[in-house]
Structure 1
Amino acid sequence: MGDLLGGGRAPRARLRELLAAPAPLLAPGAYDALSARLVEQAGFDAVYMTGFGTTASLIGRPDVGLLSGAEMVDNARRIAAAVDVPVIADADTGYGNALNVVRTVQLYEQAGVAGVQLEDQVMPKKCGHMSGKALIGVDEMAGKMHAAAAARRDPDLVLIARTDAVAVHGLDDAISRARTYAEAGADVLFVEAPTSEADIERVATELAGLAPLVFNWAEGGRTPPLSLERMTELGFSLVIYPIGTLLAATAAMRSLLATLRRDGVPSLEGLPSFGEFTDLIGLPEVQELEQRFGTA
């Protein structure tokens, strides 16, 4: 757990080890520090900072490129500080051209994340499972990946290149782009939103051996949900579940608020007690430090 006096962690090297393992690395989405701690406490080995969830939680709006890079980096910093497991962070388009990508990668690296995801959409971008997306040229995105690789100070920082070409130009172009991005320095490849199992299989087969592959198990999105067994069989190295935690939190809050509105008192059934919750967010550690340092 991300203790206040934590140190000596090597989350980037750990992420590379996990991506090289035979079984896929499962990374549930987190949209803030609390949800990240819950992911870690549930026993997962990595956290995925979702741009969709970050936008929804910070400003209550859809993922259509409304957040700035500084806002995204701030959220990544808080999440990375809250947990000890590697954090993979959505960095959208890099927030500009290749020069902007240099600064974006450096800021995310300073924030403590283990992996940075960049995509080939035109800025402002849209969620990968929304319609109306537009792409930059493949050469421009390759330049961004070259810039990202040159910008990192820690060679273990994992660079993920995402292409949204399936919805815009088709699967053939998406696979071709992914190959180009691997040549440009991407450590991990992410073909977003294939719409059939046959297309998913093509991605896995035609990109096998180039780099570890991401499967986006987008809850309610355009990609058909696969079993863990099938994803393992196809050779995916990283599976992200970007918005399940956000949807679950929304459903739970709606239920509590509806009961409160109807009855004038909230239903606490199934909720953690006050003591359980303060333990969850690290009160025992705070109390131990107060004793250790004589803080009133």
Structure 2
Amino acid sequence: MRSPAPAPHSCPTRSTALRREIMSSSLSFLMEAHDGLSARIVEEAGFRGIWASGLTTSAALGLRDSNEASWTQVLDQLEYMADATSLPILVDGDTGHGNFNNVRRFVRKLGERSLAGVCIEDKLFPKTNSFIGEGQALADIEEFCGRIKAGKDSQVNDDFVLVARVEALIAGLGMAEALRRAEAYHRAGADAILIHSKRADAGEILAFARAWGNRAPLVIVPTMYYATPTPVYREAGISTVIWANHLLRSAIVAMRETAAQIAEDESLIRVEGRVASVQEVFRLVGNAELEQAERRYLPARPSAAAVVIAASGGDLGVLTADRPKCMVDIRGRPLLGSLVNTLRESGVRDITVVRGYRKEAVRIDGVRMVDNDRHAETGELWSLACARDAIRGETVIAYGDVLFRRHILDGLLASEADIALAVDSLGAAPRTATTPRDLVAADRRFSGSYLDDAPAHLRRIAPDIASAELCGEWMGLLRVSARGAGWLREELAAMDAEGLIETADLPMLLTRLAARHPVRVLYFAGHWLDVDTLGDLAEARNLG
């Protein structure tokens, strides 16, 4: 009969959690993972344990399941997996990577890395995958029992689980030999028995379970007899089912389809909406935790605020009939939501949005709203003036219909200039435009070398810059320091006094500032988008 599950501990280990699964009277399931990312996906799916497959770990490294990956390489992968999840992990230990001496060292190292258990199989080192060939040679029973005893003697945690995998049915040695080996391994100290089969039906597995009589927990891997209904395993008294390799196999199909599509199209347009977003990758690998740690451990600096100008309606046909352009959907999120998300990822939390056209449709959680109720008769500068009280310390100012990669914003925030503009050096190249472009003339062009960090300063921004002085296109994104914010407010006041503030735009403001103060131009090469047309909207889905 099965041993009783251990009594609860005040601080249970992962080995304790795995032992409870294996010893439980109800059927348990372990899902395959082969690296840290897949381990995290298994946990999010709701499984209570992980099978660290030898086949898929090797295949993910581009190696065969024949001990081509050394045990130390395997251990490295396992450590990443243990760090990525709180679930208990049962390690596919192949043959134990050698004799009793290799087994005891391997088991000790697994325990030191919080791996919950190991399964070793009664084959010879180096192993061959069970589904390759016929009549594979098995280990001598007594020698394999020595490996089991060495593993149990070397575990660093009393609850560490050692599963002995019986390959007699795979090798064609028959039911009697399988039972004889299982009984010997159980007496040698194995906590559970894994009985393996490569038949397309579960007949011999169920026959083994009946003959075994629940003398110790029974673990199965129904890769070949996958059509067997799961209630059959419950009725047979099976302890644990291992879904052994399906995450890697599904990933291969998805990667192959994506690669073929991109190769055929020479474009990302047909795959971008079908794959996980970059933000989802960031979430899975724990970027949010790193940001929290940075706030705790790095020297504090005043965080920047942001003002986003989004009062105009835009013209995207029926899409902007009941909402402003900034609220048009980009892959399940409004354009403005994507912009706000980029700001937050760079640590900008205090965000003010100036809204106007269809203002009731402009809603983003955690964002302060300021209304320009004269949006139909005023311009950008009036909208900015509506939020002038939010421009006190370091502030990012952006149009509400632009998207940009985070490295552009991070570059602005890292600048020591009091006023810094993000300028696309590629904007100096001729292109067709249906709307006016904010072209830039500066005292110095981008040289084309990212090693060239000599400063460039703004001369003016206008839609009619001559090619002889054209240096790029302003992205609709700038940052001011606390001192720069003071200069900006002074210029707003001056333009108000001159009667210009109602109709002027930001390029005029920045050109006037450049005449009085240094306005730094930071050159970037693409990776941004001003959404003005339906074509821009389609492209935004690849950038948002």
TM-based fold match above 0.5: yes
Residue equivalent to 1:199: 204
Residue equivalent to 1:125: 127
Amino acid at match of 1:24: L
Residue equivalent to 2:118: 116
Amino acid at match of 2:203: A
Residue equivalent to 1:263: 265
Amino acid at match of 1:68: S
**1:171 touches 1:194 (CA, 8 Å); kept in 2?**
no
What CA distance in whole angstroms lies between the structure 1 residues aligned with 2:299 and 2:14?
A: 31
In structure 2, relative to structure 1, the CA distance for the partners of 1:207 and 1:27 (3 Å cut) is same
**Aligned-pair distance for 1:295?**
5.8
What CA distance in whole angstroms lies between the structure 2 residues aligned with 1:74 and 1:286?
A: 22
* Pairing partner for 1:182 from 174, 181, 186: 186
State percent identity of aligned pairs.
31
Residue by residue over 1:45-99, the C-alpha shift from the partner in whole angstroms, topping out at 9 and shown as x without a partner, is 00110000011011x1321221221112111111111100101101111111112
Amino acid at match of 1:73: L
What CA distance in whole angstroms lies between the structure 2 residues aligned with 1:158 and 1:127?
A: 23
Q: Which has the higher helix share?
A: 1
What CA distance in whole angstroms lies between the structure 2 residues aligned with 1:295 and 1:281?
A: 24
What CA distance in whole angstroms lies between the structure 2 residues aligned with 1:224 and 1:247?
A: 15
Structure 1 residue 57 and structure 2 residue 60: aligned? yes
**Aligned-pair distance for 1:103?**
0.8
In structure 2, relative to structure 1, the CA distance for the partners of 1:202 and 1:102 (3 Å cut) is same
Task: Answer 1 or 2: higher relative contact order, Cα 8 Å, separation at least 6.
Answer: 1
**1:28 touches 1:241 (CA, 8 Å); kept in 2?**
yes
Residue by residue over 1:257-284, the C-alpha shift from the partner in whole angstroms, topping out at 9 and shown as x without a partner, is 0001000123123322221221122111
Residue by residue over 1:24-61, the C-alpha shift from the partner in whole angstroms, topping out at 9 and shown as x without a partner, is 21111111111111000111100110000011011x13
User: Where do residues 265-284 of structure 1 align in structure 2 (5 Å cutoff)?
Assistant: 265-266=267-268, 267-284=271-288
Give the TM-score, by structure 1 length.
0.92
What CA distance in whole angstroms lies between the structure 2 residues aligned with 1:139 and 1:57?
A: 34
Displaced runs of 4 or more, over 3 A: none
**1:175 touches 1:191 (CA, 8 Å); kept in 2?**
no
Unaligned runs of 5+ in 2: 1-10, 301-544
What CA distance in whole angstroms lies between the structure 2 residues aligned with 1:224 and 1:187?
A: 25
Residue by residue over 1:154-189, the C-alpha shift from the partner in whole angstroms, topping out at 9 and shown as x without a partner, is 110000100111122222211210111000000010
Give the TM-score, by structure 2 length.
0.51
Structure 1 residue 153 and structure 2 residue 176: aligned? no
**Aligned-pair distance for 1:23?**
2.3
**2:280 aligns to what SS in structure 1?**
helix
Q: Supply the RMSD in Å over aligned alpha carbons.
A: 1.6
What CA distance in whole angstroms lies between the structure 1 residues aligned with 2:34 and 2:229?
A: 24
**2:37 touches 2:284 (CA, 8 Å); kept in 1?**
no
What CA distance in whole angstroms lies between the structure 1 residues aligned with 2:130 and 2:218?
A: 16
Amino acid at match of 2:13: A
**1:166 aligns to what SS in structure 2?**
coil
Q: Which has the higher strand share?
A: 2
Amino acid at match of 2:205: I
In structure 2, relative to structure 1, the CA distance for the partners of 1:259 and 1:201 (3 Å cut) is same
Residue equivalent to 2:105: 103
What CA distance in whole angstroms lies between the structure 1 residues aligned with 2:151 and 2:216?
A: 16
**1:129 touches 1:193 (CA, 8 Å); kept in 2?**
no
Residue equivalent to 1:82: 84
Instruction: Choose 270-279 or 230-239, whichever is displaced more.
Output: 270-279
Unaligned runs of 5+ in 1: 1-7
Residue equivalent to 2:75: 73
Return the index of the structure with the highest Cα Rg. Answer: 2
**1:117 touches 1:161 (CA, 8 Å); kept in 2?**
yes
**2:127 aligns to what SS in structure 1?**
coil
What CA distance in whole angstroms lies between the structure 1 residues aligned with 2:164 and 2:97?
A: 14
In structure 2, relative to structure 1, the CA distance for the partners of 1:235 and 1:143 (3 Å cut) is same
**1:72 touches 1:91 (CA, 8 Å); kept in 2?**
no
* Pairing partner for 2:294 from 287, 290, 296: 290
* Pairing partner for 1:171 from 172, 175, 200: 175
* Pairing partner for 2:94 from 76, 80, 92: 92
* Pairing partner for 2:216 from 208, 211, 216: 211
**2:121 touches 2:164 (CA, 8 Å); kept in 1?**
yes
Amino acid at match of 1:251: V
**2:163 touches 2:192 (CA, 8 Å); kept in 1?**
yes
Residue by residue over 1:1-44, the C-alpha shift from the partner in whole angstroms, topping out at 9 and shown as x without a partner, is xxxxxxx6621111111222232211111111111110001111
Instruction: Choose 64-73 or 247-256, whichever is displaced more.
Output: 64-73
